[in-house]
A and B are shown apart, each in its own frame.
Chain A
């Protein structure tokens, strides 16, 4: 039962509006300020710890090749070698890789989000026989490790002439059960009353999906877009199996091949890795602003 009689503990966020604070309140506010400051210190420290591997990547990318792995570890590169970032453009085909990866990531993300959210509506809001079993089949395939069926799949796609084309990767990534599952769960948390009202107004199911569900599921779409984009961007095994022509290589495949090619040039490799992470980080920074409370609060102040 939610009926609690004890007085509410002061919330950590937001001070009570008061024009003339009394000493007790002022003390409380000062204490809250201290707590907040401490919270920030903890957050920043945690952030630094989480970023450590990335920091190491950046530091290593500025070292000489044979200085990257040392005992004990050197945190400050000496001498600092910026030329790694110039060299990687000269020695590798970064432009082609980035272009291919971008084409793939955008196509796959767009297709996955549209077909996935469309199918999810069928699973979440329509009732018909066999729905649950079909859904379980979808989820079940997620449980099968890809490397165990990738050869049959490869033989199949080769037979229809898709291997060694970017289409193979699109086909592979687009229809994953993941997107359907994610969107379905999100739709289920959107109040049914909304679509019911629309139905009474005579809106078709397609209209409800387009006009009501899609606009309301921005946070879910944002996370699906981000995750699909990142997964396509960072996929290695798929391109490895399907893409042979260097003209078609993606950034991960290119970098890994680069690693085996220049197997001792770790500083250069780290420079490439840093470059490959940056676009994704930027997209995340941009996309995360869609995570704001959206549903059902329209017109209501919280």
Chain B
């Protein structure tokens, strides 16, 4: 299981330098004074950030929840209409379409990005000539202007003259897909670009996490004769768990609320084939000024995200225990 590799450490280094992934909680002497003290100290750490967070993020978000029960149109009075926005969603085919597309995007984007970024992180965590250069390159898609990204990828995917399809034709594919100009292929195309763009971002986070894996554990596993795959499975992954948790949660949330990439690449088209929830929220709110309804859609997106996060949270805790 997860922590077995730790047990195989050689007699080598004594002392507290061997980590226990998943942080064994400190023993605490019972006593309410101590608990109070802990609470106060705990809050003193959190407070500086929390004050700003509560005022600037939490309050507006709570306002959003309130607005989702109203017919607010940004200017006039916000009239309380109860659950009307939510019942309207049930019968709104465009909302259903956006929801399905969002799940489609996330369902493929999350695993693909995870595999790509983890491979990159493992590959670029070694002593390699020019590793700084390669890391920078992998991160480049994330910092390149999104307009340029849209332009170049759209052009690569261009149905008649695009290099992608010219290559496919060269391989003998007679009717290559229309990519961003085809209702069926636009989503795969966007997912591909999404993976390409974000893999460097998550690679960076995983790279940071990999630094917590002590080299002596690898050494120990190697002495035990574990092959590369075993070492990855029994040493790397367990030590990486807190980071993996962070990465999967962020990746899930980011995928579920994907916005700007789709906006610049296909603007939801052709037809509604790449319309996603975040874009629907923007459309309803800023283009059609139905802020109440847009807020209600945002609340459902929030609920989906939070449900998935809680599942991941509990799963992570179970693995921890």
The answer to whether A5 touches B138, judged by C-beta atoms less than 8 angstroms apart, is: no
**CB of A294 within 8 Å of the partner chain:** yes
**CB of B275 within 8 Å of the partner chain:** no
Of B49, B64, B313, which contacts A149 at CB under 8 A?
A: B64
The answer to whether A152 touches B63, judged by C-beta atoms less than 8 angstroms apart, is: yes
The answer to whether A191 touches B18, judged by C-beta atoms less than 8 angstroms apart, is: yes
**CB of B295 within 8 Å of the partner chain:** yes
With the chains together, A117 CA to B26 CA distance in Å? Answer: 20
| B-chain residues with CB within 8 Å of residue A223 when the two chains form the complex | 204-205, 207-208
With the chains together, A295 CA to B210 CA distance in Å? Answer: 10
The answer to whether B52 touches A171, judged by C-beta atoms less than 8 angstroms apart, is: yes
The answer to whether A220 touches B141, judged by C-beta atoms less than 8 angstroms apart, is: no
The answer to whether A119 touches B155, judged by C-beta atoms less than 8 angstroms apart, is: no
| B-chain residues with CB within 8 Å of residue A80 when the two chains form the complex | none
The answer to whether A151 touches B291, judged by C-beta atoms less than 8 angstroms apart, is: yes
**CB of B118 within 8 Å of the partner chain:** no
Of A153, A192, A300, which contacts B26 at CB under 8 A?
A: A192
Of B18, B57, B218, which contacts A296 at CB under 8 A?
A: B18
**CB of B24 within 8 Å of the partner chain:** yes
The answer to whether B60 touches A8, judged by C-beta atoms less than 8 angstroms apart, is: no
With the chains together, A3 CA to B16 CA distance in Å? Answer: 24
| A-chain residues with CB within 8 Å of residue B253 when the two chains form the complex | 142-143
Of B16, B208, B228, which contacts A11 at CB under 8 A?
A: B228
The answer to whether A291 touches B57, judged by C-beta atoms less than 8 angstroms apart, is: no
**CB of B95 within 8 Å of the partner chain:** no
The answer to whether B242 touches A185, judged by C-beta atoms less than 8 angstroms apart, is: yes
The answer to whether B281 touches A148, judged by C-beta atoms less than 8 angstroms apart, is: yes
Specify which of A151, A181, A302 lies most central, judged by the most chain B CB atoms within 10 Å of its CB: A151
Q: With A188-B242, A296-B214 given, is the CB distance from A141 to B58 under 8 Å?
A: yes
| B-chain residues with CB within 8 Å of residue A7 when the two chains form the complex | 225
Q: Mark A137-166, 1 if CB is under 8 A from B, else 0.
A: 111111111011111110011000000000
The answer to whether B302 touches A143, judged by C-beta atoms less than 8 angstroms apart, is: yes
Q: With A115-B49, A126-B38, A185-B243 given, is the CB distance from A56 to B143 under 8 Å?
A: no
Q: Mark B286-314, 1 if CB is under 8 A from A, else 0.
A: 10000100110110011001100110010
**CB of B21 within 8 Å of the partner chain:** yes
| A-chain residues with CB within 8 Å of residue B113 when the two chains form the complex | none
Within 8 A of B (CB), among A60-114: 69, 71-73
Q: With A147-B286, A296-B17, A302-B219 given, is the CB distance from A192 to B23 under 8 Å?
A: yes
The answer to whether A299 touches B53, judged by C-beta atoms less than 8 angstroms apart, is: no
The answer to whether A9 touches B38, judged by C-beta atoms less than 8 angstroms apart, is: no
The answer to whether A50 touches B137, judged by C-beta atoms less than 8 angstroms apart, is: yes
The answer to whether B52 touches A174, judged by C-beta atoms less than 8 angstroms apart, is: yes
In the assembled complex, how far is the CB of residue B277 from the closest CB belonging to chain A, in whole angstroms? 8
With the chains together, A225 CA to B39 CA distance in Å? Answer: 29
**CB of B50 within 8 Å of the partner chain:** yes
In the assembled complex, how far is the CB of residue B275 from the closest CB belonging to chain A, in whole angstroms? 14
| A-chain residues with CB within 8 Å of residue B80 when the two chains form the complex | none
**CB of A260 within 8 Å of the partner chain:** no
Surface stretch bound by A, among B104-112, B128-136, B169-177, B178-186: B128-136
Say whether chain B's binding surface is mostly helix, strand, loop, or mixed. helix
Q: Which residue of A lies closest to B249 (CB)?
A: A139
Q: With A71-B161, A220-B208 given, is the CB distance from A189 to B19 under 8 Å?
A: yes
The answer to whether A119 touches B137, judged by C-beta atoms less than 8 angstroms apart, is: no
**Number of interface residues, chain B, beta carbon within 8 A:** 125
With the chains together, A73 CA to B25 CA distance in Å? Answer: 60
In the assembled complex, how far is the CB of residue A301 from the closest CB belonging to chain B, in whole angstroms? 8
**CB of A194 within 8 Å of the partner chain:** yes
The answer to whether A189 touches B21, judged by C-beta atoms less than 8 angstroms apart, is: yes
The answer to whether A205 touches B45, judged by C-beta atoms less than 8 angstroms apart, is: yes
**Number of interface residues, chain A, beta carbon within 8 A:** 117
The answer to whether B214 touches A297, judged by C-beta atoms less than 8 angstroms apart, is: yes
**CB of A249 within 8 Å of the partner chain:** no
Of B53, B63, B286, which contacts A175 at CB under 8 A?
A: B53
Q: Which residue of A lies closest to B309 (CB)?
A: A139
Q: With A127-B28, A171-B56 given, is the CB distance from A4 to B298 under 8 Å?
A: no
Specify which of B22, B234, B306 lies most central, judged by the most chain A CB atoms within 10 Å of its CB: B306
With the chains together, A288 CA to B138 CA distance in Å? Answer: 12
| A-chain residues with CB within 8 Å of residue B83 when the two chains form the complex | none
Q: Which residue of B lies closest to A61 (CB)?
A: B148
Q: Which residue of A lies closest to B254 (CB)?
A: A142
The answer to whether B64 touches A148, judged by C-beta atoms less than 8 angstroms apart, is: yes
| A-chain residues with CB within 8 Å of residue B189 when the two chains form the complex | none
Q: Which residue of A lies closest to B234 (CB)?
A: A2
**CB of B81 within 8 Å of the partner chain:** no
The answer to whether B136 touches A144, judged by C-beta atoms less than 8 angstroms apart, is: no
Of B25, B151, B239, which contacts A192 at CB under 8 A?
A: B25
In the assembled complex, how far is the CB of residue A147 from the closest CB belonging to chain B, in whole angstroms? 5
| A-chain residues with CB within 8 Å of residue B214 when the two chains form the complex | 293, 295-297, 300, 302
Specify which of A181, A189, A296 lies most central, judged by the most chain B CB atoms within 10 Å of its CB: A189
The answer to whether B143 touches A230, judged by C-beta atoms less than 8 angstroms apart, is: yes
Of B129, B142, B205, which contacts A182 at CB under 8 A?
A: B205
| A-chain residues with CB within 8 Å of residue B221 when the two chains form the complex | 2
| A-chain residues with CB within 8 Å of residue B16 when the two chains form the complex | 191, 193-194, 196-197
Surface stretch bound by B, among A17-25, A26-34, A270-278: A270-278
What 8 A-B pairs come out closest when comparing CB atoms?
A: A302-B215, A122-B45, A143-B305, A175-B52, A126-B42, A148-B298, A191-B19, A119-B49
Additional 10 contacts, C-beta under 8 A, given A4-B224, A194-B16, A293-B213: A2-B221, A56-B152, A119-B49, A128-B38, A128-B42, A140-B302, A153-B57, A191-B19, A195-B26, A284-B135
6 residue pairs A–B, Cβ–Cβ below 8 Å? A47-B134, A56-B155, A136-B310, A194-B16, A276-B145, A295-B211
